[in-house]
Amino acid sequence: MAAISRDEVAHLAHLARLDVTEDELDRFARQLEVILQAVQRVNEVAADDIPPTSHAVPLTNVYRADEPVPSLPRADALAGAPDVEQDRFRVPRILGEEE
């Protein structure tokens, strides 16, 4: 039986970088409970020896030649940015370190 606690929703929201409200925690926990009950029906199917499908089309070896194509003009690359400094994307101070 899938059950999902409020704490678990909070953890998932953190993993997904969503600063959810207390209200949302309650609501999502309740709704996800219902949804999970429904979707866990996939486990009724005996599929031990069934290969999973990750791609609808069975193509393989789709490669590109190693030939440069023009990049975006820098102005276009930066045009949508919330904040730009020294031709770079400016972000507030980073707390965590690189993975």
Partner 1 sequence: MSDLTKRTAAELAASMEAGEVTSEQVTRAFVDRIAAVDDKIHAFLHVDAEGALATARRVDADRAAGKDLAPLAGVPIAIKDIVVTKGLPTTAGSKMLESWIPPYDATIVERIRAAGMPILGKTNCDEFAMGSSTEYSAYGNTFNPWDLERIPGGSGGGSSAAVAARMAPLAIGTDTGGSIRQPGAVTGTVGAKPTYGANSRYGLIAFSSSLDTPGPVTRTMLDAAMLHEVICGHDPRDSTSIPQPVPPVVEAARQGLSGDLSGMRLGIIKEFAEEKGAEPGVVAAFEAGVEALAKLGATIEEVSCPHFTYALPAYYLISPSECSSNLARYDSVRYGLRVGDDGQHSLEEVMSATREAGFGPEVKRRIILGTYALSAGYVDQFYGQAQKVRTLITRDFEAAYSKVDALVSPTTPFVAFKFGSRTADPYQMYLADLFTIPSNLSGGPAISVPSGLSDGLPAGFQVMAPTMRDDVAYRVCAALESTQEPRLSDMIPDVV
Partner 2 sequence: MSTATLPSYEDATTRYEVVIGLETHVELGTRTKMFCGCSTVFGAEPNTQVCPVCLGLPGSLPVANGAAIEATIRIGLALNCGIAKWCRFARKNYFYPDMPKNFQTSQYDEPLCEDGYVDVDVDGETVRIPIERVHLEEDTGKSLHVGGTGRIQGSSESLVDYNRAGIPLVEIVTRPIVGAGAMAPEVARAYVTELREIVRSLGVSDVRMEQGSLRCDVNTSLNLPGAEWGTRTETKNVNSLRSVERAARSEIPRQASLLDAGERIVQETRHFHEDTGDTTPGRSKETATDYRYFPEPDLAPMAPDPQWVADLKAALPELPRQRRKRLQAQWGLSDHDMASVLNADAVDLIEATIAAGASSESARKWWMGELSRHANDQDLDLAQVPITPAQVAQLQGLIDAGTLNDKLARQVIEGVLAGEGDPEKVANARGLAVVSDTGALTKAVDDAIAANPDVADKVRGGKVAAAGALVGAVMKATKGQADAKTVRELIVQKLS
Give the residues lining the site for partner 2 (CB under 8 A): 15, 17, 54-55, 57, 59-69, 71-72, 74, 77-78, 85-94, 96-99
Minimum CB separation from partner 1 for residue 45, in Å? 6
Q: Kindly state the DSSP code that residue 62 receives in the 8-state scheme.
A: -
Rounded Cα–Cα distance for residues 56 and 45 (Å):
20
Tokens of 75: 């102005």
Tokens of 44: 């009724």
Rounded Cα–Cα distance for residues 41 and 53 (Å):
18
Q: Which positions from 39 through 68 interact with partner 1, judged by CB under 8 A?
A: 39-45, 47, 50-57, 59, 62, 64
Q: Which positions from 10 through 39 interact with partner 1, judged by CB under 8 A?
A: 12-21, 24, 28, 31-32, 34-36, 38-39
Q: Under DSSP, is residue 23 helix (H, G, I), strand (E, B) or coil?
A: helix
Minimum CB separation from partner 1 for residue 99, in Å? 13
